[in-house]
Amino acid sequence: MRVLVLGGDGYLGWPTALYLSSRGHDVGVVDNFARRGYDLEMGVDSLVPIVNLQQRVRRWKEVSGHSLDTFIGDLTDATFVSGTLATFAPDAIVHFAEQRSAPYSMIDRQHAVYTQANNVIGNLNLLYAIAEQNRDIHLVKLGTMGEYGTPNIDIEEGYIEITHKGRTDLLPYPKQPGSFYHLSKVHDSHNIHFACRIWGLRATDLNQGIVYGQQTEETVLHPDLATRFDYDGVFGTVLNRFCVQAVVGHPLTVYGTGGQTRGMLNILDTLACVELAVLNPADPGEFRVFNQFTESFSVSQMATMVADAFDGEVEVSSVPDPRVEKEEHYYNAAHTKLLDLGLEPHLLTREVIRGLLDSVRDHRDRVDLDAIRPTVKWRETASTLATSGSALSPTTAG
């Protein structure tokens, strides 16, 4: 198939492009390098060094014999979006190209507005381009389990059957997002659902849990093919942070009581889930929702798992939670649809965590401990982080 990967220079977009290419698909990569710009703004960097996209693409052709088409531009530019679709003529579009950090979206008003404008407008431009050019294109959109929040009932996959005053209907599952970033994803989901109803588009929303892992069969073929490893307080993930802290001898910092429970997913399963969605498209007019995770863990459980896997002494400490969230809550989310399509999960084992710890050891000299400190507080309208108006504007990121 012809698959266009939006955000194909990013943490998940790049290995997804390589994975699909290696499996015989014709792949196009779209990016505007906004993610690299966030590093410059925040003064941080990926723990594992990454080369520029052009060098990545050249190395992939050299190593695999497969070519990747590249399109450099911004999804908030409707002309660029329409032109890219017309040139590449995809059968499916995998949409990763959004600002994806909750803390980044909560820094201040400027970052909240940027996140929502960038994400929602870019997605709207994409929906219009598909509707105008080829309504058979299957949109596979990266959502997030964070759209649901932490309700005191089971979380279903996108829809819930409601009986009210004697009448029953299947309705979109209620959303309780926890940041302006998560809100942008909710807006995306509503817009895609609406577009499917009015234009007959095909779409699959992948409500993804927290992804861990940095190496895939393709990225380990050459150092130039490596993808990101983020551990900082704005873009880093909790498991990455714990692994970095363990290696450098810093206490594992658990926010609050550590009872926050989230769905987790190995990066290898992300790639498989995307291809399963691409190969099994939604029907015309269908807005499908898959909860894309394989296991659930609390923050405290993850800290304990890292401490147990680490060869040495590890201290676990509690720090005030900078977020506004339930620190202890019920969490039981359905995630059967991708399993039904054939997903074979890679689970979070001691060996997997040791592999992450080894990656940190290999690049220990690049660790910036100051970058791990949480600087963004949900209850404040402006962060203590000094940005000096350096946020990218909505017209320069996709």
**């982080």: which residue's tokens?**
385
Give the per-residue SS3 of 348-364: CCHHHHHHHHHHHHHCH
Which residue type does 22 have? S
Q: Enter the tokens of residue 79.
A: 């002309």
Question: Among 16, 76, 84, 144, which one carries the catalytic annotation?
Answer: 144
Q: Residue 386, Cβ neighbours under 10 Å: how many?
A: 8
Helical spans, DSSP H, in the chain: 13-22, 34-42, 53-64, 78-88, 102-105, 109-116, 122-133, 180-199, 238-248, 267-279, 299-309, 337-340, 350-362
Return left, alpha or beta for 374; rule: phi > 0 is left, psi -120 to 50 is alpha, else beta.
beta
Q: Backbone dihedral region of 7: left (phi > 0), alpha (psi from -120 to 50 degrees) or beta?
A: left
Q: Which residue has the tokens 């714990």?
A: 242
Q: Are β-strands 68-72 and 92-95 bridged in parallel, bridged antiparallel, or unpaired?
A: unpaired
Q: Would you call 144 a catalytic residue per the annotation?
A: yes
Number of continuous H segments (helices) and E segments (strands) in the chain: 13, 14
Pick the catalytic residue: 185, 204, 231, 253? Answer: 185
**H or E element, residue 341:** none
148 is catalytic: no
Our answer to whether residue 270 is catalytic in this structure is no
Write the DSSP symbol of residue 347.
P
Catalytic residue among 11, 104, 114, 181: 181
> Which residues participate in catalysis according to the annotation?
144, 181, 185
